[in-house]
Amino acid sequence: MLDKELRSMIGDVKDGRMDRRAFVKRLAAVGLTAPMANQILSIGGVAMAQSPSPYPPTKRGGGGPLKLLWWQGPTLLNPHFATGTKDQDGSRLFYEPLASWDVDGHLNPILAAEIPSIKNGGLSADAKTVTWKLKPGVKWHDGKPVTADDLVFNWEYASDPATACVSISTYSGLTVEKVDDLTVRITFKEPTPFWANAFVGAYGCILPKHLFADYKGAKSREAPNNLKPVGTGPYKFVEFKPGDLVRGEINPDYHMANRPFFDSVEMKGGGDAVSAARAVIQTGEYDFAWNMQVEDEVLLRLEKGGKGKTLYAVGGDIEFIAINFTDPNIEVDGERSSMKTKHPSLSDPAVRQALALLVDRDSVKKAIYGRAGRTTANYLNGPDDFVSKNTKWEFNVDKAIALLDKAGWKPGADGIREKDGKKLKFVYQTSINGPRQKTQAIVKQAFQKAGIDVELKSVVASVFFSSDVANPDTYSKFYTDIEEFQIPMTQPDPALHMRRYHSRNVATKENKWQGQNFPRWVNKEFDAAVDAADTETDPVKRAALYIKCNDLMWQDTVVIPVMHRLAVEAASNTLRPALSGWANQTDNIQDWYREG
Amino acid sequence: MSQYVLRRLMIAIPSLLGISVVLFVVLALAPGDPFSELATNPNVPPEVQAALRARFGLDDPIYLRYLHWLNAMMHGDWGFSFVSRMNVDTLILQRLPTTLYVIGSSQILALLVAIPVGVYAATKPYSIFDRIANTLAFVGFSLPTFFTGILFILIFSVTLDWLPFVYTTDIKATGIHYVLEMIRQAIMPVAVLGLFQAASMTRFVRSAMLDVIRLDYVTTARAKGLGQAKVIVKHVMRNAMIPVVTLIALQLPAVFGGAIVTEQIFRIPGIGSLLISSILSNDTPVVMAVAFVFACLVVLFNLVADVLYGWLDPRISLR
């Protein structure tokens, strides 16, 4: 889309000639997501409207209990220590951020009086400050008022490395100051186009200063309220058994009218996904189950005549095969896959392209993911469908063979292609997980057809995803030729997602393999684009930069995207949950209700 | 007798120490890292991870960590869970009642089934009752609990809709309703575990009884004109129970282990599921503590078995 055209469209929305939805739709048509379109509007000077709430209940409570089933129970209830979504989801029943991403990818005010915009003076034109106004009259569950001091304290608490919060990087590059009792100003060191990060979403949950002030820094673990949350949320804390159960009861003083609908909430953990699906869809013992990593066939069978159904939320999670640009079989200075080496065959672009041609996404979707996945050529599939239109994937064995022939990789006596004595023999690793092993099998078949030999390797997930420096089988050490896993997108902005592949983030012995660029791909153009996007305040140019990043990864075949994965949840037929691919599943729990 | 118990106790202490060393070393050497989930989170800078590791002493040498652990244990400090950041003993105590309730009930069920069936089958060997009991027992211990568990769920929850298959610790009801609900939700897991145990125990009781029932002193007792019931209960059973006690006592810790599977299937928040989830999240202090509790149970039940032998056959404690 032309820069000029977009600008005139923003003008149209500003002057009321075009409706917001139409604007978002038109942007989606060219590959921009709803959250991105909305951010564009807000920076362009249009206030970010919430989507009209479809919430019909006209009084608080009366909805009976809400029974949720997670297949891992929350293990702690401090959102800033959360070691996984289960903890964030459990904490979120009690704690709230200033705003969260709703179903349509709009920023929805929770504790904020309104969403900052240029129009209401909340955003500065240089994208360096954000001013948030708190909704007046909001009280903590213990009756104390929520004030700007709480926000400032949360920033101090989370940005202190000694507190060891997982949310530290959300809060460390900025300063928060109190303007008045209900207003804070966030100042960024640099222009920050994605300003809606601190105090928004899972890491944005706000702790009460009066209960945590004594437990900042090294004493953070001792806070009694780590296990007994006192927040502002729709439910008040009742009981917590780590790994098993969290229970809350309705907050009669909740700050949103007519909410929440349910009288109590219970989140039970444990078991496996199939039986969770069964408890919700088939027997109706529970109202909602999280993350149905179950084969679609099974879900379809359960849904027949059942009491529930599956729901899908579109985010940006991507399952992909990564290619190793370095040689995993040679040790240099005590390090395999060292940056001082080059992969004997995968450094040839023709080989990488051939591999990409041999991954049959359609079969993988049909046989494994079903409704839970979308085939894609892009690494960056979001926020929402932040899809580059310049790429295309193809499954074509003949084309792959032709490509390899042309590049000089000819079949040897054993049928395996080789060139200059180097054979196309790869080790393909992934974590132990049903769908992944099936994908391996599908891919292996096609590789063999083209004369490429593959040895499949599967590693226990707890080892594969660990940061254990002593273990050679982790995904970040990448001591094999190719590997497959999923990278979830944790926020509706591509910055974190794309920055991984910057050349300064290469995983090496020096940084104890903490770098996230495990393909060890170095591309100056990519680095420049990612760096530029970090401070680019013009939303249009910024979007173009990320599309460019994605396209560079596609051209160089750094990773082979296999499946754009959707979040799959199970809900009873009468439950109306508010799910967003951009938020945790309990992020909009105040809007959940039951029909009929 | 008391000297005998004391002697046994003295052996137990070094065994426990030895076990703790082995457990600790194995856990320390095992792959995986309690902070792996943080490592894959791009939001968490490596410095925070390093700080956490340092704070929790993960970078110290193994022997130091062991001594530290042992010292803390001596003072009754079980350490704290890296994942929940809460004390391990609280975590275990929270789950112990559920485990004891489910496992205890299943053991009682197993004994209630196994002893009468085994004894009766032994008094009439190769009768129709014996044959049926034998066949059922054989089928029973051939079917693993994860299979029967799912079968029970499919039959009693999904098809018939009689029983819930998610075990919950916060039943809303009070009084008699609470008790009934507790019983209702425990029926399936207790039946699955109990019948599995009963199956192998029945065969064991039967063969132990058969061994004794043919001995001369039993014939003598009968010849003296004692009634069948009295002979069986007073003369045969007491002697036959020695190997049965061994089996039960030594199997109890294994039942805690076997219950892990059952706990997973029915979502029972017991010690077994705590162990599983802690292993999966590499929460080493919890794994260590639970494994150590299991080890203590093994040692304890060995001791109990030894003491029971002494009671059943006084000759044993004199040796």
pLDDT of residue A1: 47
Contact A80, A158 (CB under 8 A): yes
Report the pLDDT value the prediction gives residue A478, as an integer from 0 to 100.
92
Residue with tokens 């891919």: A443
> Quick one: pLDDT at residue A44?
52
Shortest CA gap B16–chain A (Å): 28
Residue B311 has a pLDDT of 76
- Chain B residues with CB under 8 Å of A463 CB are 31-32
The helix or strand, by DSSP H or E, that contains position B315, with its residue range, turns out to be helix B314-318
Task: Give B40-93 as a DSSP string.
Answer: T-TTS-HHHHHHHHHHTTTTS-HHHHHHHHHHHHHTT---B-TTT-SBHHHHHH
Contact A270 B33 (CB under 8 A): no
Low-confidence ranges of chain A (pLDDT < 70): 1-7, 14-17, 20, 27-53, 104-105, 383-387, 467
Q: Which residues of chain B have pLDDT under 70?
A: 1, 31-44, 257-258, 316-319
Question: Can you spell out the DSSP letters for A273-305?
Answer: HHHHHIIIIIS-SSSEES---S-HHHHHHHHTT
Q: Find residues 163-182 of chain B whose CB sits inside 8 Å of chain A.
A: 164-166, 168-170, 172
Chain B contacts of A168, Cβ < 8 Å? 43-45, 48
B interface mutation test: which of A263, A317, A468, A476 has the most B CBs within 10 A? A468
Pick from B27, B83, B261 the residue to mutate for testing the A interface (most A CBs within 10 Å): B83
Neighbours of B177 (CB within 10 A): 11
What is the structure's pLDDT at A596? 75
User: B residues 128-147 near A, CB within 8 Å?
Assistant: none
C-beta of residue A379 within 8 angstroms of C-beta of residue A554: yes
Q: Provide the token pair at A167.
A: 């949310």
The dihedrals phi and psi of A266, each to the nearest 5 degrees, come to -140, 130
Compute CA B160 distance to the chain's CA centroid, rounded to the nearest angstrom: 30
Q: What share of chain B is helix, strand, coil (3-state, %, to 5)?
A: 80, 0, 20
Which pair of tokens denotes residue A71? 């297949």
What six digits make up the tokens of A163? Answer: 């507190």
Helices (H), B124-144: 128-142
Write out the two tokens for A310. 């599956």
Which candidate from A245, A282, A468 shows the least CB-CB separation from B31? A468
